[in-house]
Structure 1
Amino acid sequence: MATVNIRRDVADPFYRYKMERIQSKVEGKGNGIKTVIVNLSQVAHQLARPPNYVIKYFGFELGAQTNIDPKDDRWIINGAHEAGKLQDYLDGFINKFVLCKECKNPETVVNIRDGEILFDCKACGKISKADLRHKLSGYILKDAPKKGKKDKSTKKADRKARKEAERNGTADKDGSPADSGSDPVDDDAEDEGNASDDDLTRKINAEAKELAEVKEKEVEWSVDMSEAAVKARAQALPEDLKNTLVIENGEDGEGGDNVYEEFGKWIESKAEEEGGVSKVKDVDIYLKAKELGVETKHRTPAVLAQCIFDDSIVKQIEGRASMLKKMITSDRHEKAFLGGIERFVGIDKPNLIPSVSAILLKVYENDLVSEENLKAWCGKASKKYVDLQTSRKVRKSAEKFLEWLENAESDDEESDEELQSNLIRRFTNLVTLAKVKSTDRGVSAVTQYQLQAETAALIRGAEEVQTLIRQVQEMWLFGQLNTLGESKIQQETDENARAVAGLMKELAEKHFGVASESGANGVGGLNGTANGHHDA
């Protein structure tokens, strides 16, 4: 039997309060058409309300006649009404006459006192009142059973619900014998017939409870936590739940046949088919990860770092950056990716250990790992992915990158502003000098717009110097200074600086018709700035 939450606005599948869905059947035709609610007794029993309350509520809301005390348990509403529509009206009944006004739980008992309908909540203890303006409230007050007795419709519904529960094997174990009887006699007659047996019944029930408690104490519950038992329980899970959990062994284990090994082996086999790992497409890799349900898992970047690169990793990182960014989405992902690189370089490709700084530079330039995580990773060896000795070798090779990163940080704060302001100041000096020496021509031809344009040209020249300086730093980082030579670097830097100073001189002559005496000073000053960055 399909069940729903008593509060259908609660989507929690583990909500403890359940009821059957309303089942209706339309019979007859023309003026005699009617709707029979097949399971109203069960639904009312699960709501702890008399079924005549529910059927009467439907009648008031639909404006239709109903039968409120059927002998054959056929609860009828005149007219044709769909089950979904009745279920919506039942929600209204639950909100008004079942749920506690305070905690919204359906554990309420109806009490009638001094002409008021009170709901006594057994969950929170709140006593709330029903709205007496509703027609059903008048019906409840008018037809309320005498104290200590149930009305006939309630007794019949309870008996039918208990029989149904017994057939399904869900009957209440400690229910009293009188409750499960099927003889349709009045409660008074039942009480008289069973009065002499009350003491004996209570004694039997008390002794039975004691026996049950003793048995429960003797039983010791335990769960087999062996590896084989855990795997067996995991395999018994539904497939969609397996994909959601990715079997915890796959997240935390360091070996065995798990989904990550399957992913790595697939990349390796695909690389053999394509003739090299560099020929395996990013799209295929991502789709395979999605198929296995690991595209968002934090250990996936570690697998990728070990499987999608070869000896040309420095050149390959940029090409794989777009896919990696899609799969590296948190600090845990970043740390796992660095761990995968450490294992790839330290174990699979130890010949690449001298190139660790170059690898990290590409990782940094493509924004795959944050600067904070890179610094933390470079600063301390770890045995999480490789042995401690190998980790120390890898981190030792990363010292050049760490030094460059710290210097670049200070350069970024100072170099751009200082170099540009230095050039602007020197160009302003040229304009002032031209004003003094060219009084006959004046400076009216030099507009504010032209000054701004020429200043921008000087700044572009400064950026060329900075580009050269960065190239020098990268060559130093890659250990290529020996091939280029210190003197060659100094020569190219000086030439570039002289070119910018020459541009300043040319601009002054062009606009003012004089040779700048500060040309030499400009070269020296700019050269000094460039050398300062080179020394850094």
Structure 2
Amino acid sequence: MAAVVNIRRDVKDKFYRYKMPVLLTKIEGKGNGIKTVFPNMADVARALNRPASYPTKFFGCELGAQATFNDDTERYIVNGAHDQERMRELLDSFINKFVLCSSCKNPETELLVSRDDWITADCKACGHRGDVENKHKLCTFIVKNPPKKASKKGKKGAAGADSIAGQPGQVDGADGEDDDDQDELSRKINEGAQALLSEEQAAKLIAQREADEDWGEDTSAEAVARRMAALGVGASLLADEDDDEGDKYSAFAATVTSDMSNADIYTGAQDVSTKSYKVLVPLVPALFSDDIVAQLPTRLALLAKMTSNEKDQKALLGGFERFFASHPDLITPTVVGKVLLQLFEADIVAEDVLLHWSTHVSSKYAPKDVSKKVRKAADPFVEWLKTAESDSEEDE
């Protein structure tokens, strides 16, 4: 079990009531696949009353490295080998910028995101409400992934006296939070679908919607209609987007030209949707032509800016599948391998995502035969990734 320290490490008072576990690090992998894992990041984040993805993403921003996280498995990773003390210093910086009250310096704060995407910290100790460092790159991620609201059961701040007295670093009321942010479908069910569905039907519908996110699931309009009919649900209940929503993203992609700057494309994409994964699939084929290997380096900064989480990375790979569907002559180990290698070395797509993608053929983004061919062409690159990982395990 990790030792416990003061949340403000500059405070030496051993009776200081705001505590957290010492951040632990573990180096895994070898060569290009080396990474730093944080085994107890979830516990540290609970003590700070922040999602664990926030400090992990903060580390990635500060180090210029790809950060990946999975709240279900509580696995949080930053690519590259990083010194433990350096990571603890970065955690102190995160606490100072995004946890401590700017007035009383207590960590009893909650982050609030306004409608104009401005982030403030509301202090429950002194009542002060002040701005965080909104110019930091992390703020873009926070706006896209706002903190969950506390339940109505009287959830106390993670850093508050009641939440840590006797059990430093543990959070009362954590069980009251949902595992994932509610999507539009969940909100519609909570707001009014109970009148149309039984509780059992609603649970099945939500479970099915979550299952649809899997790459191997058929998400065509016909398949969705079949699942809706099986549940006895009308199409209007699932209409969380306008009928022409998909056309909106394709229409934007059609306006993209080779001479447009990355900044202009990013701004246009944000105007269409702040959810990058919706824009990336039609955008990628519009960005590249037959000379994709030479063109890709000029767009890596744009793709890195638009991939802040695993869902974005999956959509990005789906976009490249769609590109290869329209350029079948380029589906070769050389071209596909060079594309994936650039994405991996630029820390745009994580190793875990690439390995998962390589084993899950899907017709979600391109015809299934194209999906198979692209993954087959990627085999040499994937084997290289696996070899680096296995070599590391043998050394250990």
Which structure is higher in helix share? 1
Instruction: Name the structure, 1 or 2, with higher relative contact order (CA <8 Å, separation 6+).
Output: 2
Q: Which has the larger radius of gyration?
A: 1
Q: TM-score, normalised by structure 2?
A: 0.39
